[in-house]
Amino acid sequence: MHPPTTLAAELRLPTNWLDYTILGIYFVVVLGIGFAARRSVKTSLDFFLSGRSLPAWVTGLAFIAANLGATEILGMAANSAQYGVYTTHWYWIGAIPAMVFLGLVMMPFYYGSKVRSVPEFLLLRFDKAAHLLSSGLFACAAILIAGVNLYALAIVVEALLGWPQWVAIVVAGFFVLAYITLGGLSSAIYNEVLQFFVILAALIPISVLGLKKVGGWDGLSDSLTESRGADFMTSWGGTGIGSDNPLGANWLTIVLGLGFVLSFGYWTTNFAEVQRALSAKNLSAAQRTPLIAAFPKIFIVFLVMIPGLVAAVLVPKIGTAGSDLQYNDAIPYLMEQLLPNGVLGIAVTGLLAAFMAGMAANVSSFNTVFTTDIWAKYVVKGRQDEYYVRFGRLITAIGVLASIGTAFLASSFSNIMSYLQTLFSFFNVPMFVVFIIGMFWRRTSMKSGFWGLLAGTTAAMVNYFVIYKQGIIDIPSDQGANFVSAIAGFVAGAVVMVAVSLFTAPKPAEELQGLVYGTTSPGMAEPPAPGDEAWYRKPALLGWGAVILAAACYIPFSF
Amino acid sequence: MSEFYSDKDVQREVTELQGKSATAARLFDIRRIIGGLFVVYGVIVTIAGFTASDADIDKAEGVNINLWTGLGMLALGVFFLVWLKLRPVAPPPPDVVAGDEARE
């Protein structure tokens, strides 16, 4: 296993004053947004949830940008260089259906119940034990993932710009700390929207020039078909049960493990994402948040996959002992090879912005859960609202410092993305089981939430660390093992929940209003805002449109 | 906190906070920032495109990538500024704010 610390030394970019000017302007704007957003923070709701007042296009782009961190960009390009067009599964089946489900089915319960976080919903539906366990798990996961982003940023910046790792960590940590403590979630969301456009401005030139270099899509396709086999350029080729493919997964584990369990777990219960939707200004805007995000998500796969595939053509031995380049180096390598000063500065800025946004999304959700779910409910209760705003700012600083510490945990994994997905399968999948059963089965008892979470998390961890890592069953790759761990966590959580529910008392029906399917709460009854009746703002149309479009995208890559 | 921390507690607490919230009234419009930043970036990168050396163009597969990216960013920046000009955010209706205040 290659530690990602060894980014090849030849990746040093020929940056000049022009590129640093572009980067400098960005840092100034980031801080400016923090200072300008500061005056809008009056209550804890402003600090943690932007006062539930943002328009859908802003929350929608922040929703996608919170996911489009640099670990995702570099990791998915790495996936493409390693596994080929299979990468499309992480987008078309592994994201779109779950995002649409979040918007159409789950959002009325989340937003309508006026909860401020995902764990708070569990408190209403289940009990304090489930709430405390999920808050604690989420707080740990958020800090770990923020640390992954920070660590990845440091090694990339060291390789590309020659800054020592500690400089990159201190600079990025300082800016994230500054803009979130100043402006709270509004400032995090505004920076994410900005980052979304900058990263597009970076990835589009890289993809276009990369394609040109290898003779267009046909040249790319011919070259890789010859060197890696025909399945490398298809989504489903070689995924029959029992057949061999580099992903180490078959269509069943792809559909169930990635498409259903992992993806629904991530998109519907990961608070770093859901928080963006909860900050929308009304129920319609909250529902449209993941749906608006789904459309860019369908097409972003090309901007990360093409650089990965191009790198696989240009450096045929990438990721193996025969080359200095790791899979994660695909995009930095193309930046170095293709971009002149100017656009190079934009690309460096986009990458740094994406690292900081990936970290900020986790820090801004961590401070919310830690303050509203742990501190205000169990430790220091019933204080004035101003106290919790101050505490939120303090815990933001502590969270940033803690994530610097966790950064070093990431060092033993070769593929950053599989590390993240391993974590998600341990934390998000059991959470999703608990949600889905609690939301659709009224009989689900209060106690079952806690036991379902615990059983699911334990099962996923046992599968990964004992059964897979100790070689008790043979799974060819980390990614394949993630899919299986996710399915194991889901099944164990579900079985335990049903069993516990059958032997413990259900929650009284009057306490379930607006929390289970088929009931409504006062928050869901609000009349639509003027203009929301327009056809292009209908959630059902947007959602089904995204699903059909994603399915259609598979067609050219399936034969 | 009673045994059930109920839906009604959250509804009441959050509705109250939302009444006092200042974000809707005081938060600036992000379109101004996106527009401004992309116009500045667009101008800088476009100028880099006009003054591109042969080495720059050769490196980018014969494409003057600075020029095209710069123009694209400029267009996006202008789009956001025009959108802001044509559809400024309506201030929140005063009766809603007053209503929330009265309920407290």
Q: Tell me the two tokens of residue A287.
A: 């529902």
- A43/chain B closest Cα distance in angstroms: 6
pLDDT value of position B4: 53
Q: How far apart are the first and last CA of chain B?
A: 21
Count Cβ neighbours within 10 Å for each residue of A124-147 and write b for 16 or more, e otherwise: bbbbbbbbbbbbebbbebbbbbbb
Global pTM exceeds 0.95 = no
Whether A434 is covered by a domain: the verdict is no
Model pLDDT, residue A517? 85
- ipTM score: 0.88
Question: Which residue did the predictor score with more confidence, A235 or A21?
Answer: A21
In the chain, the amino acid numbered A11 is L
List all residues of chain A from 346 to 405 with a beta carbon under 8 Å from chain B: 346, 377, 381, 385
More confident residue, A359 or A518: A359
CB contact under 8 A, A201 and B40: no
- Please, is A227 exposed, middle or buried when counting C-beta atoms within 10 Å of its C-beta (0-12, 13-18, 19+)? exposed
Identity of the highest mean pLDDT range in A23-27, A268-272, A527-531: A23-27
Residue B37 has which token pair?
């930043």
Work out the percent of chain A whose per-residue pLDDT is above 70. 93
Q: What is the per-residue pLDDT across A283-335, written as a single tens digit (0 to 9) for each? A: 999 999 999 999 999 999 999 999 999 998 888 888 777 777 888 888 999 99
Residue A213 included in any domain: yes
For residues A354-373, average pLDDT:
92
Answer yes or no: are the C-beta atoms of A99 and A64 closer than 8 Å. no
User: Is the CB of A194 less than 8 angstroms away from the CB of B37?
Assistant: yes
Domain containing A353 equals: 9-415
Closest CA to A493 of A311, A209, A264, A275: A264
Q: What is the pLDDT of residues B24-38, one digit of tens each?
A: 788 889 999 999 999
Give the angle A559-A291-B85 at the CA atoms, nearest 5°.
120
Q: Residue B96: which pLDDT band, with cuts at 50, 70 and 90?
A: very low
Q: How far is B96 from chain A (nearest CA, A)?
A: 13
Question: Contact, B19 vs B100, CB < 8 A?
Answer: yes
User: Has residue A425 been placed in a domain?
Assistant: no
Domain assignment of residue A294, yes or no: yes
Q: What is the tens place of the pLDDT at every residue in A505-550?
A: 888 888 888 888 888 777 777 777 777 878 888 888 999 999 999 9
Q: Do A212 and B63 touch (CB under 8 A)?
A: yes
Quote the tokens at residue A421: 């997905």
Strand, coil or helix: what is B46?
A: helix
* Cβ within 8 Å, pair A52-B18: yes
How close is the nearest chain B Cα to the Cα of A512, in Å?
8
Using an 8 Å Cβ cutoff, are A52 and B18 in contact? yes
Query: What's the gap in Å between the CA of A150 and the closest CA on chain B?
Result: 25
d(CA A360, CA A480): 29
Cα of B19 to nearest chain A Cα, Å: 9
Per domain, the residue ranges of chain B are 8-87+94-103
Return residues 43-102 of B near A (CB < 8 Å): 44-45, 48-49, 52, 55-57, 59-61, 63, 65-66, 68-70, 72-73, 76
Q: In chain A, which residue's Cα lies nearest the Cα of B57?
A: A340
Q: Do B7 and A511 touch (CB under 8 A)?
A: yes
pLDDT at position B93 is 52
pLDDT digits 0-9 by tens, B15-68: 888 888 888 788 889 999 999 999 999 999 999 999 888 888 888 888 899 999
Measured between CA atoms, the residue of chain B closest to residue A446 is B4
Structure tokens at A503: 């032997």
The alpha carbon of residue B85 is apart from the nearest alpha carbon of chain A, in Å, by: 17
Q: Chain B within 8 Å of A524 (Cβ-Cβ)?
A: no
pLDDT digits 0-9 by tens, A90-142? 899 989 999 999 999 999 889 988 899 999 999 988 989 999 999 998 898 88
Residue A516 lies in a domain: no
Please judge whether B59 and A113 are an interchain contact, meaning their C-beta atoms are less than 8 angstroms apart.
no
* For the ranges A238-242, A405-409, A497-501, the one whose mean pLDDT is highest: A497-501
Contact A51/B59, CB-based, under 8 Å? Answer: no
Burial track A271-291 (b if 16+ CB lie within 10 A, e otherwise): bbbbbbbbbbbbbbbbbbbbb
Give yes or no for A177 touching B (CB within 8 A).
no
Helix locations, A214-259, DSSP H: 216-228, 251-253
Residues of B with CB below 8 A from A54's CB?
23
**Alpha carbon A406 to chain centroid distance?**
18
Q: How much is the pLDDT for B6?
A: 65
Model confidence at B102, in pLDDT bands (50, 70, 90)? very low
Indicate the pLDDT class of residue B2, thresholds 50, 70 and 90: very low
- For chain A positions 249-288, those within 8 Å of chain B (CB to CB) are 281
- For residue A457, being part of any structural domain is answered with no
Give yes or no for a contact between A231 and A84, defined as CB atoms under 8 angstroms apart: yes
Q: Which of A21-25, A253-257, A324-328, A400-404 has the highest mean pLDDT?
A: A21-25
As for how many domains chain A has, the answer is 1
pLDDT at A340 over 80: yes
Nearest C-alpha of chain B: how many angstroms from A339? 6
CA dist A533 and A492 (Å) reads: 43
A25/B7 Cβ within 8 A: no
Report DSSP state, residue A475: -
Residues of B in contact with A314 (CB under 8 A): none
Q: Is residue A38 part of a domain?
A: yes
Distance between CA atoms of residues A454 and A427, nearest Å: 10
Residue B97 has pLDDT above 70, yes or no: no
A164 is a domain residue: yes
Chain A residues within an 8 Å CB radius of B15:
114
CA–CA distance, A262 with A266 (Å, rounded to integer) = 6
Q: How far apart are the first and last CA of chain A?
A: 33
CA distances from residue A506 to A250, A434, A443, A449, A500 in whole angstroms, order as listed: 39, 15, 5, 11, 10
What six digits make up the tokens of A259? 């498409």
**Domain harbouring A325, CATH code:** 1.20.1730.10
DSSP string for A294-317: HHHHHHHHHHHHHHHHHHHHHSTT
Partner residue facing B69 (CB), from A128, A346, A507: A346
3-state secondary structure of A445: strand
Torsion of CA A196, A197, A202, A204, to 10 degrees: 100
Chain B residues in contact with A381 (beta carbon < 8 A): 1
